[in-house]
Amino acid sequence: MKTVFDDQVRAELVKRVGEVNKASTAEWGKMNVYQMLRHNTYWNGWILGKYKPVYKQAISGKIFGKIALKRMIRDEKPLARNIPTSPQFQVKETKGDLEPEKAEWILLIREYDSYNNPDFIHDFFGRMTKEQIGQLVYKHTDHHLRQFRV
Query: pLDDT by residue (tens digit) across 77-118?
Result: 999 998 888 878 889 999 999 999 999 999 999 999 999 999
The closest alpha carbon to 123, from 51, 32, 17, 33, belongs to 51
Region of poorest pLDDT, from 4-8, 19-23, 49-53: 49-53
What does the alpha-carbon distance between residue 31 and residue 46 come to, in Å, rounded to a whole number?
19
pLDDT at 60: 81
Calculate what percentage of the chain has a pLDDT beyond 70. Answer: 100
**Higher per-residue confidence, 50 vs 85:** 50
- One-letter identity of residue 127: R
Q: Is the dihedral of CA 77, 85, 138, 125 positive or negative?
A: negative
pTM (predicted TM-score): 0.94
What does the alpha-carbon distance between residue 146 and residue 123 come to, in Å, rounded to a whole number?
24
The backbone torsions φ and ψ at residue 87, rounded to the nearest 5 degrees and listed phi first, read -55, -35
Residue 68, SS3 per DSSP:
helix
